[in-house]
Amino acid sequence: MGDTTFRPTLGAVEETLLITLYGRAVETRDQNGLLDDPAAVAMVEAIDYDFAKFDGKPSLPRACLRTLTFDHWVRAFLAEHPAGTVVEVGAGLNTRFERVDNGRVRWIDLDLPGAIALRRRFFREDEPRREMLAASVLDTSWMDRAAGLPGPWFFSIEAVLPYLAEDRVRWLFAELTRRFPGSRLATDIATTAMVANQGKHDVVSMMAARFDWACDEPRDVESWAPGVRLAEECTLATLPEELVAGFSPARRERARTAAETVPEKFGSSRLSLFQLRGPEDGAAAPR
């Protein structure tokens, strides 16, 4: 490691943000890569960590496909609600704001304290449109802050909920639905097979953090709180058509190949987009 790098202090679940960061850096360095995230390359170069242990692991490009899908859903939300609020939950060192900013969105990057301390080394708050909050997604303090920003809201929760216990996930859906009617929530949902076999996962097995929540049928979440509706879902093999249509032929081929690496023993985890109480459920019309 060079003299200019520094070693971050991260808790077990916080450390997992380095996996997805590295995935974006690897894809960026490859001229046929799935995405372009030069900031990820710079952050990897600045952090003293054994990233090489992730080299060649097939789940890295898969994580990038997930990220592109969330970008796609956030862009679609902003096309309808250009002055709405996006909360990036478990933001890690994600650069979604840089990829989708429309010049009007209000944005919160939320993560646990160690992750936000690291994030502050690389990202600036840009009042009044962009801020960082150090809190658990299970705290209500950040919800109070988000509620003070213009609605509707988009909760982008990528690679976070599988680390929580199911009762906490249930509470979160109910609370967000109650407090933020008319909003959307995107999350990935691990299969029970994935969680049962996580010890055989190519990178999760290298981490101390463990998956907990699993669900084989995302529509079951609809029964957790009145007004929760599964609006869209896909797997890495069935990405949204409009997203794939924007890929170059080389990127399309790379995406197809990456999706094929999901081990059968894990099943197909879903990427799910939920509507939290639409107008038909009595939500106020979005401002």
Ligand X SMILES: C[S@@+](CC[C@H](N)C(=O)[O-])C[C@H]1O[C@@H](n2cnc3c(N)ncnc32)[C@H](O)[C@@H]1O
Binding site for ligand X (CB under 6 A): 13-14, 16-17, 19-20, 67, 90-92, 94, 111-112, 115, 136-138, 158-160, 163
Residue placing its CB nearer to ligand X in the complex, 12 or 250? 12
Residue placing its CB nearer to ligand X in the complex, 8 or 92? 92
Please report how close the Cβ of residue 278 comes to ligand X at its closest, in angstroms. Answer: 26
Please report how close the Cβ of residue 67 comes to ligand X at its closest, in angstroms. Answer: 6
Element (H, E) at 113: helix 113-122
Q: Taking the C-alpha atoms of 138, 142, 143 and 145 in order, what is their torsion angle to the nearest 10 degrees?
A: 170
Start-to-end Cα distance in the chain: 50
Please report how close the Cβ of residue 285 comes to ligand X at its closest, in angstroms. Answer: 30
Please report how close the Cβ of residue 111 comes to ligand X at its closest, in angstroms. Answer: 5
Residue placing its CB nearer to ligand X in the complex, 197 or 286? 197
Residue placing its CB nearer to ligand X in the complex, 27 or 158? 158
Which residues are CB-contacts of 135 (< 8 A; sequence separation ≥ 6)? 110, 112, 113, 141, 142
DSSP, collapsed to helix, strand or coil, labels residue 22 as: helix
Which residues are CB-contacts of 84 (< 8 A; sequence separation ≥ 6)? 77, 78, 105, 106, 150, 151, 152, 153, 154, 286
Which residues are CB-contacts of 76 (< 8 A; sequence separation ≥ 6)? none
Residue placing its CB nearer to ligand X in the complex, 138 or 284? 138
Please report how close the Cβ of residue 144 comes to ligand X at its closest, in angstroms. Answer: 16
